[in-house]
Each structure stands twice: as C-alpha cells, then as structure tokens.
Amino acid sequence: MEPVDHIFILLLFVVQPIYGVFEARHYEALAKAGQPVNRVRFYRQTALLEWIFLAVLVAAWFTFGRPIADLGFTTVGGAGFWGGTALLILLTGFLFYTWQGAKRTSNTDKAKQTESFGEIVQFLPHTIRELHNFFGVSITAGIVEEIVYRGFVLWYLVQVMPLWLAIAVSSVAFGLAHSYQGAKGAVRTGLVGLAFGIFYVVTGSIWLPIVAHALLDVLQGAAIHELLRKDDDGMESQLA
C-alpha cells in the first residue's frame, strides 16, 4: 500500500462522516428557520463530490499500475454470479411492487409514513424535478460507492485482516458515511452495506452490486416521492 491509500481511508472513515453530519445540520437549520431547502443543489453537489473522489482514486490506482480486477471488475460468470443475478431480479420485482403500492397508499397512511422519516425527510425528493435529480445521485451512488466501499476499501482491509472482518469493517464505514441520516439511518445503511459486501464476495464481481445499489436507491426514491409529492408536481414537471 501507498501513503495515499491511507489518506483515502482517512477521508472515508473520518472526514466524510463528519462533513456529512455538518452538512445535514446546515440544511436542517434552514428548514427549521422556515427557509426553503434546495434539495436539487444538495443532490448535485453530492454527486459531484462523489465523482471527483472516484476520479482521484482511479487515477492513483492506475498510477501505481494496479489491475482493475482488484477493484472488482472481473469477468462475469459462475454459479455465484448467476445466482446473484436471479436474486437481483427478485429484489427489483419487490422494489417495483413497493413503488406501485406507494401510489395506492391512502393520505392517512402517507402522513404516518412521512412522519416516520424524521429529520431525513428534508433530504428526500418532494417534487418531480427533485426526483429526477435524485435519480442522478442514486445512479452515482450505485457506481461510485460500490467501487469505493466494496472495491477499494475491501481491497485495503483484506491486506491487514480476514475477509469476514474486512466486510464488517467496511460496512461500518459505509454506515458512518451516511451518519447525516441519524443513528437509525446509519445503522440501517450499515446493514445494507453488509449485504452488498456479502453480495460482492459471493458473486465475485462488482457489477451486480453496482446495479443492485443503483436500483435500490432509484426505486426507493420513486416510492418515497409518491408519499411526499407536492400538489404542484404537474406544474413543476412542465416547467422543469
């Protein structure tokens, strides 16, 4: 490993969680003060920062002459991969069903579910324009976060600890990176990261975790939007 690898880990394990929490508090303060929260700006800023980090990481990776396969970009195939593909299809079907179910939810149930989101509701898409930008950051997260947390972080950790422990530690780091969602959100995201880590190892490739992550965020975002959508969605969609 090179010194820059340790810097990347420091940024992911320490700097990113702290930055995320401070950024969240900023937006929450705006909301409590009655000021409009610019979610589109938040989504675009998040996506830009993730792509910049990935670009720097990949540039360093190739500078040191490391094989791309070590980041998970391996030849697809094998029982694990095709089994994972079948599981992904089932997951997609379930998420699509959830999205469609959200459309049929009564206003009373929508209010209850919305209340359960807590402060994180400030970062969720309320309008069509916000949803479209949320899709962008969702696809970004699927690509960037899987390469970073399942590809790079696991590669780094397995050099100093067993694979099972590396998966657990990378999942904790993944959860901490989402600390802006609160304690429950960080734990929930950490468990999702654990599932993605296992999925990555079992399938032997980063491709399926990337697709699964992106689909999870996109379809969950679509379902959440159905619960939060504003009455002016139609007008806003025409203006967007």
Q: Could you please report the per-residue DSSP string of 178-216?
A: TGGGHHHHHHHHHHHHHHHHHHHHHHTSSHHHHHHHHHH
Band of pLDDT at residue 230, cut at 50, 70 and 90: low
Q: Give dist(CA 123, CA 27) in Å, integer.
A: 8
Residue of 192, 71, 209, 220 lying closest to 131 (CA atoms):
220
Higher pLDDT pick, 132 / 38: 132
Average pLDDT over every residue of 71-92: 91
DSSP E strand stretches across the chain: none
Long-range pairs of 227-236 with CB within 8 A, sequence gap ≥ 24: 227/102, 227/105, 227/110, 227/113, 227/114, 228/114, 228/121, 228/124, 228/125, 228/126, 229/126, 229/127, 229/128, 230/126, 230/127, 232/127, 233/127, 233/128, 236/127, 236/128, 236/129
- Average pLDDT on 197-224 reads 94
pLDDT at residue number 176: 92
Q: Considering only CA atoms, which of 154, 116, 139 is closest in space to residue 218?
A: 139
**235 pLDDT more than 60:** no
For residue 70, what pLDDT is reported?
94
Residue 9 binned pLDDT confidence (cut-offs 50, 70, 90)? very high
Virtual torsion, Cα 213, 120, 224, 37, nearest 10 deg? -110
Instruction: Write the pLDDT tens digit of every residue in 122-158.
Output: 888 989 999 999 999 999 999 999 999 999 999 999 9
73/200 Cα distance (integer angstroms): 11
pLDDT digits (tens, 9 = 90+) for 158-195: 999 999 999 999 999 999 998 888 888 889 999 999 99
Residue 169 to residue 184: CA distance in whole angstroms = 18
The answer to whether residue 237 scores a pLDDT higher than 60 is no
| Arithmetic mean of pLDDT over the chain | 88
The confidence score (pLDDT) of residue 141 equals: 96
How far apart are alpha carbons 212 and 29 in whole angstroms? 33
Give the pLDDT score at 238.
Answer: 35
Phi, psi of 72 (to 5 degrees): 105, -5
